[in-house]
Amino acid sequence: MLSLTSSQCSFLFLLFFLLLSLSTNAKTSPFHSEHIPDGVEVDAQVLPWKTRRSMAEAAVLPNASLILAQERTTRKDPLDHFNLYKGGWNISDQHYIASVVFTAVPFFIIAAVWFVIFGLSLSFICLCYCCCPRQPYGYSRVAYALSLILLILFTLAAIGGCIVLYTAQGKFHGSTSNTLEYIVSQADFTAENLRNVSDYLGAAKNIGVDAVVLPSDVQKNIENIKTKINAASVELSNKTHENSKKIQDGLDGMRLALVILAAVMLFLAFLGFLFSILGMQGLVYFLVFVGWFLVAGTFILCGVFLFLHNVVGDSCVSMDEWVQNPTSHTALDEILPCVDNATAQQTLLQSRDVTSQLVLLVDKVINGVTNRNHPPQAGAVYYNQSGPLMPVLCNPYNTDLTVRQCGPNEVALDNATQVWKNYICEVSPAGICATPGRMTPGISAQIESAVNVSYALYHYVPFLIELQDCTFVRKTFTDISRDYCPGLRKNSRWIYIGLVTVSGGVMLSMILWVVYARERRHRVYTKQFIAG
């Protein structure tokens, strides 16, 4: 009859627990092909793009609210009696957050099962080892060799997982930080341009050329639009910075936790392997007790990071869908909001109107003052101007503020001041032209100031057009989807793999610490018994 020693019985029991743990891991892994929680990304490079919706077929109204990444985010919602959540990507919606958290539940279950079952198993093993008599002939060569080989393999797996985890978290943190910095820079660039437009409008309001100023209604409109522009730029900048800081703080905390976890697990795996090899059973049991809690915590952290991994994937798909329909109101407004369309449109029209009014003001001075040839009359401005007549300034807009082409005898805004330098005269101490010319240096400076403001406002028109249709946000999300999302998905997936490898490697190593330490001690007893 086949008989087993107490050492062999213990080894078979632990081997059975080891295989059971492996089976549990395989069945509950979120990447397992037969048990994939809804919305979990199987292939970080393929699946998000498979879930794209054809926005051309969605028939969404221009100002309607758009549900982002609806197919990907359709998951069970524990806050709604486990019905499917269909609200799309929205980090401020508690139902969306709950549905994503639910995908991490398998890891929480693994942590609980591990904590309870391993705790009971550890108690049973310790009781067995303490109560069973230690016989010198309990040594098993097969158990000794197999436990040593498995211990080495799982220790190497744990060390490799720690290295992968540390490397991936650094790359992920760098990718996310770069992404947030890019979003903030785009928001700051837009807000700065808005402030520049506001400043130029304010400068235009105070411009006067030889006592000729803008009409009072134009000045009033400038003051009104300046208030709206400043409010829009402040809201855009503050909202982006606030949300970016919240996300960055969360990422910094996650990075610190992952670095500490990688270091502690690496140290634990090394010490456990060393104490087992040296046969220090007392210290091995102490490390097993410590590792019991650490492994449970690591599995919980796996679930937390799976949550983050899914949110990153959802965000990338959402950006890609929003780019195809950028005028809709969505939850992405919380990250980088579009400027209010009415404000943007009013700013564009007001900038064109002020540009046109400034050109009319300059041309009025040129036609009514600088190009006058007759001696001074009542109410006329005369300073002995003479020489060839100055060309008038080209107005880039028609009366309805549509774009017009310049005439043959007009100078464009971009080179007007350079052309008009040839029409400046030298003045006498009395301020009268002493040489041929159409402008005194003083009038030239006033005209040049008006032209510069006109050109600046004209230069910002393309920006304002992009602002009106939210092109700058669309470009930002397009760049993120193309340049940043692949790295974010890849690195977050490697962090997840590293966490699972570390958890499984240390968990199985802990079992083998006990087995190998006892087998090594029995081996010493056996050799001493035979030698005696």
Boundaries of every domain in the chain:
6-210+248-339+474-531, 342-468
pLDDT, greater one: 126 or 307: 307
Helices 6-28 and 141-205, interaxial angle, to 10°? 30
pLDDT, greater one: 518 or 65: 518
Task: State the pLDDT confidence band at 60, using cuts at 50, 70 and 90.
Answer: very low
pLDDT at 62: 40
Given a cut of 90, whether residue 392 has pLDDT beyond it is yes
Tell me which of 143-157, 183-197, 365-379, 401-415 is least confident. Answer: 365-379
| Non-local CB neighbours of 142 within 8 Å, separated by 6+ positions | none
Tally the C-alpha atoms within 13 A of residue 46's C-alpha that lie toward its C-beta: 2
Quote the CA–CA distance of 380 and 374 in Å, as a whole number.
10
| Residue of 40, 354, 66 lying closest to 226 (CA atoms) | 354
Quote the CA–CA distance of 305 and 252 in Å, as a whole number.
13
Task: Give 170-173's long-range contacts (Cβ < 8 A, gap of 24+).
Answer: 170/255, 171/487, 171/491, 171/494, 172/488, 172/491, 172/492, 172/494, 172/495, 173/251, 173/252, 173/255
pLDDT at 531: 54
Q: What distance lies between CA 452 and its chain's CA centroid?
A: 38
Tally the C-alpha atoms within 13 A of residue 506's C-alpha that lie toward its C-beta: 33
| Non-local CB neighbours of 90 within 8 Å, separated by 6+ positions | 68, 96, 331
Given a cut of 60, whether residue 131 has pLDDT beyond it is no
Give tens-digit pLDDT for 211-269.
Answer: 677 888 888 888 888 888 888 888 888 888 887 888 788 778 878 888 888 888 888 88
> What average pLDDT score do residues 510-515 get?
80
Given a cut of 90, whether residue 381 has pLDDT beyond it is no
> What average pLDDT score do residues 302-314 get?
84
Task: State the pLDDT confidence band at 34, using cuts at 50, 70 and 90.
Answer: very low
Given a cut of 70, whether residue 154 has pLDDT beyond it is yes
Q: Which residues of 373-403 are buried (b: 16+ CB within 10 A; e: fewer)?
A: eeeeeeeeeebbbeeeebbbbbbbbeeebee
Q: Which residues of 6-34 are buried (b: 16+ CB within 10 A; e: fewer)?
A: bbbebbeebbebbeebeebbeebbbeeee
Distances (CA, A) of 86 to 96, 350, 409: 9, 42, 63
Give tens-digit pLDDT for 411-466.
Answer: 999 889 999 999 999 999 888 899 999 999 988 999 999 998 988 888 888 888 87
pLDDT at 139: 59
User: Is pTM beyond 0.95 here?
Assistant: no
Task: State the pLDDT confidence band at 480, using cuts at 50, 70 and 90.
Answer: confident
Instruction: List, as one string, the DSSP characters of 3-25.
Output: ---HHHHHHHHHHHHHHHHHHHH
Q: What is the mean pLDDT of the chain?
A: 77
In one-letter notation, the amino acid at residue 413 is L
Quote the CA–CA distance of 62 and 83 in Å, as a whole number.
30
Quote the CA–CA distance of 343 and 229 in Å, as a whole number.
7
Highest mean pLDDT among 28-42, 279-293, 360-374, 417-431: 417-431
Q: How many CB atoms lie within 10 A of CB 80?
A: 14
Given a cut of 50, whether residue 9 has pLDDT beyond it is no
Quote the CA–CA distance of 436 and 427 in Å, as a whole number.
10
Task: State the pLDDT confidence band at 467, using cuts at 50, 70 and 90.
Answer: confident
| Non-local CB neighbours of 524 within 8 Å, separated by 6+ positions | 279
Terminus-to-terminus CA distance in the chain, angstroms?
A: 29
Q: Where are the alpha helices (DSSP H) in 115-140?
A: 119-131
> Residue 393: in which H helix or E strand, if any?
strand 392-393
- Residue 261, token pair as written in the block: 């976890």
Tell me which of 11-15, 434-438, 469-473 is least confident. Answer: 11-15
